[in-house]
Structure 1
Amino acid sequence: MKIKLLWAALLCNVFFVLGQSASEVRDEIWSASDPYKKANTVPEKWKNESAVIIYKHENYDYHKFGINVTYTSSIRKRILLLDQASVKEFSEFSYRDKFYSNKALGSFWRRGTNFIGVKIVKPDGKEVIIDTDKEAKEVDGEKKLAIPNLEIGDIIDYYFYSVEPFKSVYDYTFEAVETPLGDVYPTMNLKINLHTENDFFLNFNTYNGTPPLNQIDTGKSSDRLFELKAENIEKNEFPRWFYPLAEMPCYKFQVIFARSGKFEKLADGFLPESEKVVKKTISKEDIFEYYNKKFYPDGDLGVVNRYLKEKSFATEEEKVREIYYFCRHEFFTRYFEAFVVNEAKIMYPFAYYGTNPIFFRDEVPFVNYFMQFLKKQEISYDVIIATPRFNGSIDDLLIQQNVRKLIRVNTPKPIYIEYFNAYSGTDQVNYSIENSKAYVLEVSKGKRVTDVSNVTLPSSTYKDNVSRIKTKVDLVDFTGYKVQRDAAYFGHLKESEQDDKLQFYDFVYEDYNRYGTMKLMDYVRKEKDRKQYTNELDALIKKLKDKQNETYKSNVESEYEVKVDDYTFEIKNTGRYGKDNALEIHDGFTIANNYVKKAGDKYLLEIGRFLTSQIEIDKKEIERKNNIYMSFPRSFENEITFNIPEGYSVSGLEKLNKKVENETGGFVSTAEVKGNQLVIKTLKYYKNYFEPNANWNKMIQFLDAAYQFTQEKVLLKKN
């Protein structure tokens, strides 16, 4: 009887949450006691802004009842619209009213509900509440809500309210919230509330001048309410090359649910010592305590030992590199073909790989496996804990999911290796963490982490991260061009291009050939099935290649800002086996009726366009308040060879010779005629990871020079 009553209570609680009505939510948000109900004026200093947020309230509520957990979040904004741009901005909302949570098991327990409320307050104080249920239209699985008769001078007061119930017996790490304090519009009043209870652990801190979080006494020892308040917040600007969390006022928090001490130890985060304490900082001791339990030598090295058996290496560095690339295939890319055919529903492939195949799904098993390999080889190593520079300094680390883990192999020239992606390599630290302060988990005798110290990770230069493109240009019928390009990419620019350009078939079969691995279809014994699956996979690859070609053609059209025809594309080298192994790509196309203007018996050639589009700094960007944060130093080398038609010559080369260089970077171009060819060479480079705002004008100098180059022309005339 007690069990029946318990389940009845649990179901009652769930149905109460799921059955919460739109009117109940509306009455909670727009209550009769709402202190901002009649707020309708803004400070004189903000009268020329596009809009002003009179009031912004964020609420996060975490509660449990038995095995049920309910996460409720909401955001409300009351905004005065001061120009047509803001009126347009708030004239339509898109949202989902029902959703399935990814936090739970079983469809019943995953039902979530979103509510939206919108009201318009006219300058005379008249309120118009939008009937969202009636006015919203279903479009492609989303609700679209148009706001009629919105005008300059109106106040729009709206909220989004989400209820997400799920079932959890163990622990759960909620997604972190990391955001600047300010908005794209100035904010008069901001309030943030967090409501938790026992078994919910809170990490929360504020940065760069943000007010602290305060706890409010609820009168219940198991109930905790927190509040952050701020006033008169200037609008945020988010210019290019900027990391908001690095210097803007901001806050970060994460809630972790753990039912008992056992699950606290298993939780995926840096937990405070109890639910009653808000954890604000992560110490070296925290780092040691958490990762000492995570990282230890582990894994079956049988396949690696067999691979090593008939091989010899000149140095330990050579051995480590070779094993890294072998493992990248053996425990990662080897399964890509299976994922593709499974998703395409061609066949169920995973049974062919044995009962317990090794596939590294994240950083921890990868690190542990390589700890095992290095330990057995008696090669010294440490584990590095770092956080991307866009998150701020490692000294401000708060969220475990922001950590990147890698191994430093202590060979004469240290080798840094990270968890695989399809193109990852050795000898190059990920661009997001290089040149940053990190923690070293020192490993004793290849076994256990024994201490934690600090290190600054290596840097790269603009000479390491290079795009090198050679472009051959022929005039066609004096109306257009035939273009052939050969591109080579190195360093971090190679990584981004690999991610953009390579598809699974570009590297999986390359790895099969390199390591003599069986292809997926070789596992299929029945000839009839193998032939059917192979045909279907080949058809899928052909379809993907056609789409790939169309995508790259579209990308070229964006680069050149014109339509192109007869597009061809070829991967000459994937660049996946070493820092100095370039990604090499060849493509070709024609441009019709563009970049050529007839002027009597002469032709004006827009030759600068073949550098492709460059950054144009508009008037709004010239006056910059923020510092400049670069992903990494980099350079772009271009050589453009124009074949001069027989019987013609070119003039006007002086404008193609430019040189602007300073401590931030530079743009240099040269142009000369060699025989029957006009040869143009350009170099644009960014020297540093960071520039103070005071150097922005120096950067503009070479950016403007590069953009101006693209506008230059030469004159083609008969001899």
Structure 2
Amino acid sequence: MKIRSLHLAILLLLQLPLYAQKARDIRAYKERATQVRNEVWEWDIPAFLYGVKAKIDTTSSAIVVARHVDVKASSSRKMKNLGNSIRVERGKDLFYSNTFREMVKINDKAALEEYSQFSFRKFKNLNSYFHRGLATTIMGVRIIKPNGSIREVNVDEEVVNEQENGREKSKLAIPDLQVGDLIDYFVRVEEQKDVNSPVDDQMFVLGDDKPILQYSVHAEISDKYFVRYRTSNGAPDFIVKKDDDGAVFDLLIRNIPNLPVGLWMSPYRQIPMIRMSIAFGTRTEEGQVAGEIRKNPNAMEAKNVLLKEAQLTDKYFATLPSLAELKFQVKNLLDKYETNMHDEIPEDSLSFYAYYAFRYLAFYSVNASDKIVVGKSRNYSTPNNRRFLGYLYQVMQNLNIPVEYVFVVSRYGPGQNDFLTGSDYEIMLRTKTAKPVYITADGVFSNCSDLSSEYEGQKAPAIELKKSKRQYNEVGAFKDIEIGVSKPEQNAKTEQIAIAFDDNMQLLKMKRKTSIKGYLRSDEQKRLLRFEDYYEAERLALGIEKSFMEEFADSKRNRSLAEEYTSAFEKARTEQKDDFMDEIQEQFDIKPKDLIEYKIEKMGLRHTDPDLVYHTTFTLDGLVKKAGNNYILNAGKLIGEQLQIKPEQRNRKVDVYQPFARTFEYQIELTIPKGYTLEGVDKLNKSVDNECASFTVTSTVADGKLQLKVRKVYKHNFEPVAKWESLLQVLDAAVDFGNQKLLLKKA
């Protein structure tokens, strides 16, 4: 007892300095936060004062009266000498801060809901700002009433935590915000860095879904840094001035119109913006010189960066100690497959088998030391793309599969001619076989040869690195390849639905078979599949004799683990029912009254059997209403909700970036209750077909049943704005069908 008490006392003594340090940190943070808030609220920027005093147009849901971004990358010593009360940490020679401030006029309930409580993710999205490290974050919020009175929100007290998709998210509640108010807020990130710490890339996006009356930027960057920046999509240039410490960048723009950023846009390619990369010091091998400002780097500079990245990636992974073991495990799996399945892997299929063996090791195999994760959350595991493909490149080479690096840009990222840094590109692999196979690393269910839809139609430089040390890899060795574009029938969702009324004519019983292929498949795989099932399927497909459960059960040391996994599997299976309920509710916008049956028929795990197929039987309430002796059926809702274009989105002035070409098809058989007839069936029939899309409905009534076939097709992944009206015709036709009703008339 004495020993235990002494041990506890020592622990408490050890913890006291930690508590004291924490208290000091809290006091220092509060002092600094107060200083920063006073500084920001006193900024001499007329637009923020104008917003408080002036009458502002109320035709938009919300208006950004003023938006300002302030960036500083300087020496800690200079900041201290300026009287900013920044405590310089030992070994931290550089100071970085980014302040984003915005004043918004709230004009209706939709804007009020958006700003009354919003997650910290919103700050990031509004600023288009990505922070890579630990830093001090300081926020400030003020509410300005129409009479000019100002109330500052106590940010520290109004932060709430909520669950979102199983994860805790911090949100900031803004009490007493009302329509007609102005919300004036900022978020600042401050960080002291050593000379090897990267500075966040900056992105100034000159557009939003709200009109912006004034957008301004002020950046002070020390001549200790190398600055590379690019103006895109017609963005104006900075006014750049030199001072004793470095360079000052200023930008001022007024009256920026709103854009449909939430509807089929590629902001990097359609919104004027300036992107900036800030790197410390002179690095000759990387082509950077401290104090230099380089605007709009050329294509040759991009190729040099990509070549160095490919060489460094190859060299790094080729020398990792873990690579030898990984090569052995993949080769061992392939050898066991041939032995246990009594089947030799064809040479033209080796890359596929190698990929699936590698995917199994990355996502499916289980070790006794692993944390038990067998529910839906496991399905959302994503690899570090460069790490995954860096290892796989070496594995492929070890199996004598010729392979090359492909550097591809996303349709939703900067274009190939808008290069700024190597991070603009993502890596893919491409086999140099008779029929080339593209390989990416999207996640647990990626088939070999699956590509992300965001790469479709993009030109991409590819290079096969030379193996001999005597051979030199050169920029001229790059060749441009073009990624293909899928057809609408390759990305399809098809449903067969048999519908019957219950005895009370209130509930609809739906027996549904859903088949999903192509890019539409992934989201539902992640939501609906369970590890127990897809692990077992892949184990058998690879010819692995024993499951990890059997191995655990045979081991005295790990026998209890088998029982724990069995319990976890049962819990995951229970949660799977809720996920099927969510899938139904998402489609029909109605929570099912009862889910009677749900079953996965095909999981779509391999390119040889790529479709996801599942069955559900459920009841829905709310689609039938009594009208005297008759009933009204919301027939248009039988295929689920349709995309409705908002009034402010109809007058579009930018091209249309759709996710991919796709097809939705519904084959519905509705049993008409005895003693009733259907009226209004002829009004269901539609046919709108143009160069962009189509929406067709055909219906017949025979033998007491309504046969309804609905087909909606988006023919391309991109449409020029000149064809927007054609696309609108189809979208409107689908919405019109969604509003159609049938009368069940008592005979």
TM-score, normalised relative to structure 1: 0.81
Question: Does the C-alpha gap of structure 1 residues 420 and 202 become closer, same or farther in structure 2, counting only changes over 3 Å?
Answer: same
Q: What are the residue-to-residue correspondences of 1:177-256 with 2, within 5 Å?
A: 177-178=202-203, 180-197=205-222, 200-220=225-245, 223-256=246-279
Q: Is the 8 A contact 1:328 1:422 kept in 2?
A: yes
Q: Which amino acid aligns with 1:552?
A: F
Q: What's the CA shift string for 1:235-256, capped at 9, x where partnerless?
A: 3432422222221112223434
Moved more, 486-495 or 664-673: 664-673
- The Cα shift of 1:703 comes to 2.0
For the residues of structure 1 that align with 2:631 and 2:176, how far apart are their CA atoms? 54
- The Cα shift of 1:214 comes to 3.9
Gaps of 5+ in 2: 1-24, 77-89, 122-129, 163-169, 376-380
Q: Is the 8 A contact 1:667 1:685 kept in 2?
A: yes
Equivalent position of 1:352 in the other structure: none
SS of 1:331's partner is: helix
For the residues of structure 1 that align with 2:191 and 2:734, how far apart are their CA atoms? 51
The answer on 1:504 being equivalent to 2:504 is: no
Q: Which amino acid aligns with 2:432?
A: N
Within the candidate set 523, 542, 545, 2:570 is matched to: 542
For the residues of structure 2 that align with 1:57 and 1:40, how far apart are their CA atoms? 13
Moved more, 287-296 or 242-251: 287-296
For the residues of structure 1 that align with 2:226 and 2:680, how far apart are their CA atoms? 69
Gaps of 5+ in 1: 1-13, 105-109, 345-358
The answer on 1:533 being equivalent to 2:561 is: yes
Q: Is the 8 A contact 1:360 1:366 kept in 2?
A: no
- The Cα shift of 1:701 comes to 1.8
Q: Which amino acid aligns with 1:459?
A: V
Q: What are the residue-to-residue correspondences of 1:604-643 with 2, within 5 Å?
A: 604-643=632-671
- The Cα shift of 1:329 comes to 0.2
SS of 2:412's partner is: helix
Equivalent position of 2:372 in the other structure: 341
- The Cα shift of 1:27 comes to 3.9
Q: Is the 8 A contact 1:560 1:609 kept in 2?
A: yes
Within the candidate set 470, 491, 496, 2:518 is matched to: 491
Q: Is the 8 A contact 2:604 2:610 kept in 1?
A: yes
Q: Is the 8 A contact 1:203 1:272 kept in 2?
A: no
Question: Does the C-alpha gap of structure 1 residues 161 and 581 become closer, same or farther in structure 2, counting only changes over 3 Å?
Answer: closer
Question: Does the C-alpha gap of structure 1 residues 90 and 679 become closer, same or farther in structure 2, counting only changes over 3 Å?
Answer: closer
Q: What's the CA shift string for 1:562-588, capped at 9, x where partnerless?
A: 342331322211101116521111111
Question: Does the C-alpha gap of structure 1 residues 507 and 206 become closer, same or farther in structure 2, counting only changes over 3 Å?
Answer: same
The structure that is helix-richer by fraction is 2
Equivalent position of 1:354 in the other structure: none
Equivalent position of 2:71 in the other structure: 60
Q: Is the 8 A contact 2:334 2:357 kept in 1?
A: no
The answer on 1:702 being equivalent to 2:730 is: yes
TM-score, normalised relative to structure 2: 0.78
Equivalent position of 1:411 in the other structure: 433
SS of 1:613's partner is: coil
For the residues of structure 1 that align with 2:426 and 2:368, how far apart are their CA atoms? 27
Give the share of equivalent positions with the same residue, in percent.
Answer: 22
SS of 1:194's partner is: strand
SS of 1:556's partner is: helix
Equivalent position of 1:349 in the other structure: none
Question: Does the C-alpha gap of structure 1 residues 175 and 472 become closer, same or farther in structure 2, counting only changes over 3 Å?
Answer: farther
Q: Is the 8 A contact 2:368 2:561 kept in 1?
A: no
Equivalent position of 2:708 in the other structure: 680
Question: Does the C-alpha gap of structure 1 residues 580 and 632 become closer, same or farther in structure 2, counting only changes over 3 Å?
Answer: farther
Within the candidate set 293, 296, 313, 1:277 is matched to: 293
Q: Is the 8 A contact 1:17 1:163 kept in 2?
A: no
Equivalent position of 1:323 in the other structure: 354
Within the candidate set 131, 148, 161, 1:140 is matched to: 161
- The Cα shift of 1:320 comes to 1.3
SS of 2:726's partner is: helix
Question: Does the C-alpha gap of structure 1 residues 457 and 38 become closer, same or farther in structure 2, counting only changes over 3 Å?
Answer: closer
Equivalent position of 2:9 in the other structure: none
Question: Does the C-alpha gap of structure 1 residues 535 and 176 become closer, same or farther in structure 2, counting only changes over 3 Å?
Answer: farther
SS of 1:364's partner is: helix
Q: What's the CA shift string for 1:182-204, capped at 9, x where partnerless?
A: 34443343222333336644442
Within the candidate set 383, 390, 401, 2:412 is matched to: 390
SS of 2:406's partner is: strand
Q: Which amino acid aligns with 1:371?
A: Y
For the residues of structure 2 that align with 1:218 and 1:128, how far apart are their CA atoms? 37
Equivalent position of 2:363 in the other structure: 332
- The Cα shift of 1:87 comes to 6.6
Equivalent position of 1:693 in the other structure: 721
The answer on 1:571 being equivalent to 2:600 is: yes
SS of 1:505's partner is: helix
Equivalent position of 1:432 in the other structure: 454
For the residues of structure 1 that align with 2:566 and 2:345, how far apart are their CA atoms? 41
Aligned-pair Cα RMSD in Å: 4.0
- The Cα shift of 1:325 comes to 1.1
- The Cα shift of 1:523 comes to 5.4
- The Cα shift of 1:83 comes to 6.5
Q: What are the residue-to-residue correspondences of 1:9-408 with 2, within 5 Å?
A: 20-31=31-42, 35=46, 38-40=49-51, 46=57, 48-49=59-60, 52-63=63-74, 67-68=91-92, 69-79=94-104, 112-118=136-142, 120=144, 128=150, 130=152, 132=154, 136-140=157-161, 144=172, 146=174, 148=176, 152=180, 156-165=183-192, 168=194, 171-178=196-203, 180-197=205-222, 200-220=225-245, 223-256=246-279, 261=283, 272-274=288-290, 276-278=292-294, 280-281=296-297, 282-295=301-314, 298=318, 299-300=323-324, 301-309=327-335, 311=338, 315-335=346-366, 340-341=371-372, 361-408=383-430
For the residues of structure 1 that align with 2:205 and 2:231, how far apart are their CA atoms? 10
Q: Which amino acid aligns with 2:293?
A: V
For the residues of structure 1 that align with 2:374 and 2:295, how far apart are their CA atoms? 42
Question: Does the C-alpha gap of structure 1 residues 232 and 713 become closer, same or farther in structure 2, counting only changes over 3 Å?
Answer: closer
The answer on 1:474 being equivalent to 2:500 is: yes
- The Cα shift of 1:415 comes to 1.1
For the residues of structure 2 that align with 1:338 and 1:639, how far apart are their CA atoms? 48
Q: What's the CA shift string for 1:152-195, capped at 9, x where partnerless?
A: 3x6554433332346x57x3344444452134443343222333
Question: Does the C-alpha gap of structure 1 residues 89 and 475 become closer, same or farther in structure 2, counting only changes over 3 Å?
Answer: closer
- The Cα shift of 1:217 comes to 1.5
- The Cα shift of 1:517 comes to 6.5
- The Cα shift of 1:663 comes to 0.5
Q: Is the 8 A contact 1:382 1:440 kept in 2?
A: yes
The answer on 1:595 being equivalent to 2:595 is: no
For the residues of structure 2 that align with 1:418 and 1:136, how far apart are their CA atoms? 45
- The Cα shift of 1:334 comes to 1.6
The number of residues matched between the two structures is: 668
Q: What's the CA shift string for 1:611-665, capped at 9, x where partnerless?
A: 1222233433332233211111000111112234567664543223221111001
For the residues of structure 2 that align with 1:544 and 1:150, how far apart are their CA atoms? 43
SS of 2:144's partner is: strand
For the residues of structure 2 that align with 1:202 and 1:421, how far apart are their CA atoms? 35
For the residues of structure 1 that align with 2:398 and 2:67, how far apart are their CA atoms? 58
Question: Does the C-alpha gap of structure 1 residues 524 and 603 become closer, same or farther in structure 2, counting only changes over 3 Å?
Answer: closer
Moved more, 425-434 or 503-512: 503-512
